[in-house]
Structure 1
Amino acid sequence: MHYKIEVYPRDLHFKKPAGTSRGTYTERKSWFLVLSSKDDPDRWGVGECAPLPNLSCDDVPGYEEMLAKACQNFTNTGKIDIDGLRDYPSILFGLETALLHFEANSFNMWDTPFSRGEAGIPINGLIWMGSYEDMSRQVADKIESGFRCIKLKIGAIDFDKELEILRLIREQFSSEEIELRVDANGAFSPNEAMTKLNRLAELDLHSIEQPIRAGQWEDMALLAASSPVPIALDEELIGCNTPEKKKELLSFINPQYIILKPSLHGGLYGCSEWIKEAQERQIGWWITSALESNVGLNAIAQWCATFDNPLPQGLGTGGLFTNNIDIPLVVKGDRLWSNPK
């Protein structure tokens, strides 16, 4: 097969600013790979390369040159150089999913109940950082829409105010009715983390993502061993790109959960390695998008649907952009549907 890849950069604009403890996004850039072949002119495939500024391990100078080199290497060989792209997970993800789309000749890359529009994937309702009033309004909207798992990004406003929002939910809904997750994005210092975790534990949370900054393995391992709230790793996984490093991290910290974002954590191939290592250690996991357009989100959701994972996934980001790509993904209640019937 003689492949051709064309690269199309595109700036995606958020409908409203997306606040995290690392700053606020108003736009982000993606590179779309369109794969074709003279041998089969009726087929094409598209993948998305979307490194997150100041977060992705491949958000580096010379990214576009590396992307062009990776695409050229693929067209020359017909194969994805997985080991050569381990430090460029967003490029690996874009190439993997463009090829999967090409081979399936469809945005439905696997045959699953999800791809056939027969079943939806349970997802969490994401509450972005903002003022107390704005976050409270978001919570009310998500619950009214039918979400049964709410995830709040915390660390931007006064901690007592954030506790108050969580407490208001708990006063109305038990943990059986509404599952609560929080994502601190590394906002706590190691010295204060346990005190804050003890206060959060009073609200019967499912888990907390990344309570302290990544890279503090000893402190994180202590928290994972003693926290009354289960610990989920997210940013901690970034840059652990080899099988050996993945084994080392999970064995040392031994978290309760890991959260997998293919654009950040190794593409589909690398995330499959994470899942294997996590399952061997009885560590739970779920899959999340990383602010991709609907092209990347669809690929992640299609892949996610191949697993028998009942946990709510983090795939409710399809409505974030004013200029998103039109793909038939629909959120109904607390589930993401593809081509719903």
Structure 2
Amino acid sequence: MPQQATPPTVDPLAAAHWQQLPASASPWLHEEVARRMQARLDWIKSKPASWAHWAPWRGGWQSHAVLADRYPQASCILLEPSASAAAQVRQALHSPWWKPKTWRQGKPRLVSRIDSPVQMLWSNMALHMSADPQGLIQQWHQGLAVDGFLMFSCLGPDTLTELRTLYRERGWPAPAHEFTDMHDWGDMLVSAGFADPVMDMERITLSFATPERLLQELRELGRNLHPARFPALRGRRWRQQLRDALSGGPLQLTFEIIYGHAVKPAPRLTVAAHSEISLADMRQALVKGRTALRGADAAALSLGKEAGHE
């Protein structure tokens, strides 16, 4: 798949502006998706000693506590790309910490970058709003230790099919930017250096009592980042037309949820006329090599003992 700096339907300026908008809390859908993604951790036997939560404020702040309970001995760092969300996380972290359970887990640190590789990186419902998803995936790869793993979720292309159909029938510009297919996400993971990507998806349909509640849900979930979106503010007349159109059918919205999991393998140290290998990759390769040699020596010793008893 050709590598692109930005998706063809995401306006980078609009994406950057949206990132800085304050959010009072995580949307309900984000918390629900986080809960479902946590269930997928049951398939993973390794227990990370350190992990990073990417964009936790919008991605599921309430679910963060449940995730921390799963790994009570692990250290945790929080990374917020949004300055406004970082301020809200910082305020939340200054809440009283007198509960014994909190003392055992330790207080998570809010950081601007990963200074030491972690063994798990968790990102919930953030990737589809990035103007440079390939760069973001590469950043996640760099922040993981060898054999560390990535867990992420995002919206897929079948999201908002009802609303897209309604807009198209009326000749209106698209109500949202296009979302990437899960197979393309898998290709991006491999391109960034990840191994063994596992992708799956499900559809969640939400029903609403009124058009106003449906529109409120959309505002909480994000913004239309399509470059061809309506370039100005809509008037009251158009808004009434939208309400009437929504009232003419079931008040439902479908969301395609994509889940992804991938592992960071040991770096392949290729030799050429001119090769550049980072110091961190070299250290990890040497550590892995020593571990493999110790295992081979132990196996050889065991075989030697068995041969001596024959």
Q: What's the TM-score, normalizing by structure 1? A: 0.26
Larger proportion of helix: 2
Q: What's the TM-score, normalizing by structure 2? A: 0.28
